[in-house]
Structure 1
Amino acid sequence: ALLHTFVFPTFQQYLKCTETLYHAELEAVDFRNALEETRKKINTWVEEQTSGKIKELFTEGILGSNTVLVLVNAIYFKGKWTSEFKKEDTKERPFRLNKNQTKNVQMMFQNGYYNLAIIEEPEIQVLELPYGNEEGGELSMFIFLPKDIKDNSTGLEQLDSALIYKKFVEWTTMTKMHKQNVNVYLPRFKMQESYDLGETLQAMGMLDVFDPSKADLSGMNGNRNLAVSKAIHKSYVDVNEEGTAAAAATGVTTIFTSSGMPCVFKADHPFLFLIKNNVTKSILFYGQCTSP
């Protein structure tokens, strides 16, 4: 990720920190007299950093002439599966949107040995699909698939209510996951979303920084005359046979035996997914697929 800063006069210490800690570039622009040109310039930088996947991060009207600072963080990830899905095995199959509705999707398939966990509470399967040339590499996608749809919801409500970061970490550790012979069914999917995170961050307790009377960002310029006005996030994820392009416990684990028929992991109903760095344990992207 690269932090790109379009700024007004600031403390040298702050600028040094952004450069040292975030490898940030610094560029001065004119929000007052060239607002539209500046907006397009920032959007062009984001588009270039994400290989054209994220366009128009800032739409018209988001920035104003009273804007004095924009911090932009852009990350682009493109990974190939360690074991790619064969395109000839992709077939049109039904995907259950909820208990009563289905749609036909392009469902990928392959058989192989994958790390799999079965969690009893809540009832889910957790599958690891690694990226890179070797098993046990740095990056993986983890898919959290509810056992079934229990009512007219998407099936994710019960899982969402049970999830905290601690459980994410626990369910995706190698002590919980075991390599199994698995028939994997996974739909192709592509999604792009844009979010205004202001209300979300304030609901999480980040209040003062959005309030001009309380915000204290004096570490940037020595004055308490700054406040955050907008927090915009835009994401893009494309999952196919080759891999992924992306531009964000209680219960007992049951171990399958290696004998007999392969386990079946069939993502034919809504699921959660995340892309995780297995070395740092950090989550790079997280989302849910409810309608491929």
Structure 2
Amino acid sequence: MTTNRRDVLALAGITMAALGGCTMTDTDDTDSEPSPEPSGGDAPIDGQLLSADVDRAAPAVSDDALEALVDGVNTFSLALLGELADDEETNHFASPYSVSLALAMAWAGARGETETAMADTLAFPHDQQQLHETFNALSQSLEEDTPADGDDEDEDATEFTLRIANAIWGQADYPFGDAFLETLARNYGAGLRTLDFEAAPEPARAEINDWVAEETEDKIEELLPEGSVHGDTKLVLTNAIYFLANWANQFDEDETEDGPFTALDGSESTVPMMHQHLRTRYAAVDGHQVLELPYEGDATMVVFLPAAGEFEAFRDSLDVDRLDELLEATADASGDLALPRFEFESSFSVRDALAALGMEVAFTNQADFTGMLESDESAPSLMIEDVYHDAYVAVDEEGTEAAAATGVTMVPTSAPAETFDVTVDRPFLFAIRDDETGSLLFLGQVVDAGEAQ
């Protein structure tokens, strides 16, 4: 399969409406001048940008390497969809591309079993150096078609924005390694912003959330929920994506009218249905319908309408090969389309889904992220505490607005706690004790639990 610019955009983000992925351009988040001191020591706090003294690289990667990464992102995207869609009666929207990109930054510091498990789960096709260089090349490829401010003669008719921003937020005195910082600065445009999580976790959380809100045009206002950042937090890796595009052929608002929609559980509701007669790429395969809706700019929404009664089976069978088969089956056609207007937001932790897909070790004390630290430091290694994701989508007669953000929070590993197995299946004593004074307030025994029911 030959990968062209349009394929990269379609494949890297999967399909925004049906599967929840979205592709954006990359923004080098280095507005402030970087300090020559990359980490540690008397590093400033309160979000001041620190970075290795490097510029964003412009790597030359092969088409094969780029295609392999796109296929890997797609493989992970479809696997993640299956894990997130367990609640079959709930609408879902996510950007697996954002999750993959944020975790790629964490993977830069992973070693040993952790590195292997994350690569397998995320379907990373390359080694450390090539993976980061290829993500960088993909981001810059997506950036090429985003018009600069003032380039559009008719901004309303050709509105098209793709934007990606990455940032890393670290405890001011933690010994992050220069090599790790350089990798993220060179390939993701992500400089280290130092915060004092230990003394002021809530202001730190607010600052990160404010950054995400700004990068997503206030569509994602609280990526990190209350309690997600605390005194033990040492590192937060963030990715934010924003997408705004008009349809190449917009729907006439006067043609929108209420119509029935039957939910998965069989219940019926009335929703605003947009109508349009259009010429586009379309296919009917085994009773399933596939239709492309191009945007102004280099992006397309692909709508998959499974045959009646076969939604779950279709979704569960959708892998990269099946996706390629369906897309390749589309051909030029004309016809009538009725599409519901919709808008909603999804917010959730991806931790359990990622663990179920195979990278559980990254969330345990056995995690190995020593590649993030200076090799001569005795600070404990880090583990991923959680991966937060928030996504917003609005589809109307003019086009689509979508935003997503991912936050990876990391804390130090600790010595494994002693384990036990206690089954209270024979007579026992119990006490109720005041913690401050040690006074026994109540004391009792149970010699026959059956009589105590």
TM-score, reference length from structure 1: 0.77
Give the share of equivalent positions with the same residue, in percent: 35
Gaps of 5+ in 1: 249-292
**Residues 34 and 98 of structure 1, relative CA distance in 2, 3 Å threshold:** closer
Structure 1 residues 131 and 81, CA, compared in 2 at 3 Å: closer, same or farther?
Answer: same
Quick one: which of 162, 167, 182 aligns to 1:4? Answer: 167
Q: Is the 8 A contact 1:237 1:244 kept in 2?
A: yes
Equivalent position amino acid for 2:291 in 1: L
Q: 1:61 aligns with which of 208, 227, 231?
A: 227
SS in 2 for 1:13: helix
**1:189 Cα offset (Å):** 0.6
SS of 2:383's equivalent in the other structure is: coil
Q: In the TM superposition, what are the counterparts of 1:33-182 in structure 2 within 5 Å?
A: 33-98=199-264, 100-120=266-286, 123-132=287-296, 138-148=298-308, 150=309, 155-173=310-328, 176-182=329-335
SS of corresponding position for 2:276 = strand
Superposed CA offset, 1:179-225 (max 9, x none) = 1111010000111011111110010000211111x211111103662
Distance in 2, Cα, partners of 1:100 & 1:69: 45
Distance 2:246 2:387 in 1: 31
Cα shift at 1:141? 0.4
AA aligned to 2:369 is: L
Whether contact under 8 Å (1:116, 1:127) holds in the other structure is yes
Report how far residue 98 of structure 1 moved: 3.9
5+ residue gaps, structure 2, are: 1-163, 405-453
What is the CA–CA distance in structure 2 between the aligned matches of 1:160 and 1:178, rounded to whole Å?
22
Secondary structure class of the residue paired with 1:138:
coil
Give, as a single letter, the amino acid of the residue that structure 2 aligns with 1:215: A
Q: Is the 8 A contact 2:202 2:230 kept in 1?
A: no
Q: State whether residues 115 and 180 of structure 1, in contact with CA within 8 Å, keep that contact through their aligned partners in structure 2.
A: yes
Question: 2: distance between equivalents of 1:180 and 1:186?
Answer: 17
Corresponding residue number in structure 2 for 1:245:
401
Deviates further, 45-54 or 1-10? 1-10
* Residue in structure 2 matched with residue 184 of structure 1 by the alignment: 337
What do residues 231-252 of structure 1 show as CA deviations (whole Å, max 9, x unaligned)? 011100100001110106xxxx
Q: CA deviation at 1:138?
A: 2.3
Partner SS for 1:227: strand
- Looking at structure 1, the residues matched to 265 and 204 of structure 2 have their Cα atoms a distance apart, in angstroms, of 48
Aligned partners of 2:264 and 2:177: how far apart in 1?
Answer: 54
Instruction: Please give the alpha-carbon distance, in whole angstroms, between the structure 1 residues aligned to 2:179 and 2:388.
Output: 26
Distance in 1 between the 2:342 and 2:243 partners? 16
Corresponding residue for residue 390 of structure 2: 234
The separation in 2 between residues aligned to 1:232 and 1:99, in whole angstroms, is: 29
Which amino acid in 2 is paired with 1:161? Answer: D
* Structure 1: 4+ residue segments shifted above 3 A: none
State the Cα distance separating 1:147 from its structure 2 match.
2.4
Length, aligned pairs only: 234
Whose helix fraction is larger, Structure 1's or Structure 2's?
2
Take 1:202 and 1:129, find their aligned partners in 2: how far apart are those partners? 35
Kindly provide the CA deviation profile for residues 146-174 of structure 1, in whole angstroms up to 9, marking residues without a partner as x.
122x3xxxx5211112111222233123x
Q: Which amino acid aligns with 1:104?
A: T
Query: What is the alpha-carbon root mean square deviation over aligned residues?
Result: 1.4
CA distance in 2, matches of 1:247, 1:160: 23
> 1:77, 1:247 within 8 Å by CA — same for their partners in 2?
yes
Deviations 1:67-99 (A, max 9, x none): 000001100111111000010000011111147
